[in-house]
Structures are given as C-alpha cells and as structure tokens.
Amino acid sequence: MAYNVFRFCTGLKVVGSLMILVVLGVVGVSYYAVVAASYGPELLDGGGKAAGALLVILAFHVLLFMLLWSYFAVVFTDPGGVPSGWRPPPQEQDEELGETAPFSGAVPSQGAPDSAAGDPPGGAVGGRRPRYCRKCMAFKPARCHHCSVCQRCILRMDHHCVWVVNCVGAKNYKFFLLFLLYTFLECTLTAAALLPHFIFFFQDEDQQAQSASNLATVFLAFVLNLAFALSVLGFLVMHTSMVLSNTTTIEAFEKKVGSRWRFDVGKRKNFEQVFGLRPLIWLLPLYTEEDFRRIPALNGLDFPVRSDLESQDRW
C-alpha cells in the first residue's frame, strides 16, 4: 500500500467518550419526540388512535432496548488481544524471522496493516505466515492488526470505531453488526412514526402556536432519524456482504479485486463464525459456551480455510 488513507482517522481519537453522550443525546431526543410529544398523549387520550399509539410505543421500546444492549455490548466487550506469550508454530517462526522486512519508521494506522507493525514484505492478509508487531514487540496471528488508538494488536480487527469508543474485532463484531441493525430499525420506525405528526404540525396553525417546542423536537428527531437510517443502511449492507464472504473492513481494503479469499468457507459457515451456531440467539448480543468451544474463529487465533478454492458451500 503506497499511501495509508486510514491515517486521517487517527485524529478522531480526541473525540473519545463524548461519542457515547452523542448517541445517548440522539436517543433522548427521539424518545421525547415519539413517547412524550406524539404517541404518549394519544395513548392517554384513548379513542381510536390509542391502539395504534400503543403498538408504536411498544415497538419503539423493544427496539430501543435491543439497540442499547447491543451498543453497550460493543463498548464494554474486549475485541480480543493477542494472549501474552503467544507464538506461532516453530517452522513458521523460522520463516517469519528470516523474511521480515526492516522497520520502515512509518506511523501505524488505526485500521490498516502497516510496515511499522512488522508485516512481512508481500504478505497479504490471510497469508500463511504470522506477522511480528514492532510496536507490541510480539508475534501476531493471521488477521490480527495493530491499532494505533488502542495501542495494541487486535484479533481479527475490523476497524476502530469512534462511535463505540472501541475496536471492533473477533469478540465483539457480532455486537457491532446488531447495533447497526437495531439502529437502522429504530431510526426507520421513529422517522415513519413521526412523519404524520411532522406533517400535521405544518397543516394546523393552532397546533403550531400551542406546541412550538414539540414542533421543534419532532422536526429535529425526524431529520436525525431519517439521516441515521439512510447512512446506517449503507454500512449494514456493506458489512452483511463482508460477513458472508468472511472479510473484514481492513481485508477488503487490502485485497486485490477478483482475488479468491482463502478464509471464505461458504456463506453458512462464514455467518456462523460471527453469529454462532444457535439461530435462537443470532439476534441477541451474546454467545454460548458451545459457540466458543465449537467455533475457534470466535477466539481470533485459528480460522478454517478453504481446502478447495474452486468449491463453494451453499447456504
């Protein structure tokens, strides 16, 4: 890589934990607009609109609970670091020590492989050789990268996300994806629920005069949720594609167009490496002990590879 575009992201670390307050602020505005200003009064007034208001409020709270659960699961779950003293097999150590390029002095990025972290020359992500991190002064497994924000190597690193103030890696990638999913669903529901009230405020002059503060809140919440729903949808589609091909954001940035990916073992198995084996908890931000026992990839150290690049598993 001749130029590392991810270095522009390193300045975002100054934002720090303020992003959590931004997320909670958007949630607060949306909650007031939907529950306090719009559908709460309709529910309390009774009548023909009460049943619809109850359904909107229930759906809003269910999605909000799942959104916050997934969000804080990403924030507080360690994405996975290289175990102390981890070393590759002896034959791979010899290969690595004999072929590692000299330290280039380049500044490592938060989201891309770099020569400062000691990747061997010509060693594409997913290569059979482990790499050596010159920052951590330790070997790092395949698909592991050094994060300049967290100042350590992250197993199966996808990217460092300022919105969750944490790296997204082997052990919290599922939680990040669920956060995107529930954010999209919640924002879509909120925008759709507020649209009739948004239009009503502009049609009824008396209502505008009596509820100027509610109008401002509804307007702000509608615009914010519509914008978030559209933007998150793009990320959700992108990450869904990467899950099904068993690719991280960093790996997608590195891979050559048209190259066949040795970690792509079929859509079903690729999906299970992130979401686990039990469909009943695919939509919950948690894993079972069986998942960690039967899916080594969740630990970020050992990944199955395609034995036949021409074969393709079907869903």
Beta strand spans in 163-280 (E): 166-168
**What one-letter code names the amino acid at 18?**
L
User: How crowded is residue 100: how many other Cβ atoms within 10 Å of its Cβ?
Assistant: 18
Q: Are 249 and 242 in contact (CB under 8 A)?
A: yes
Q: Are 75 and 164 in contact (CB under 8 A)?
A: yes
Could you list the active site residues?
Answer: 161
- 192-215 in b/e burial notation, b at 16+ Cβ within 10 A? ebbeebbeebeeeeeeeeebeebb
Instruction: Report which secondary-structure segment, H or E, holds 145.
Output: strand 145-147
Q: Are 149 and 112 in contact (CB under 8 A)?
A: no
Query: How far apart (Å, rounded) are the C-alpha atoms in residues 217 and 4?
Result: 41
Q: Are 303 and 142 in contact (CB under 8 A)?
A: yes
User: How crowded is residue 285: how many other Cβ atoms within 10 Å of its Cβ?
Assistant: 21
Measured in whole angstroms, the distance separating CA 160 from the mean position of its chain's CA atoms is 9
In angstroms and rounded to an integer, the radius of gyration of the C-alpha atoms of the chain is: 23
Query: How far apart (Å, rounded) are the C-alpha atoms in residues 174 and 231?
Result: 19
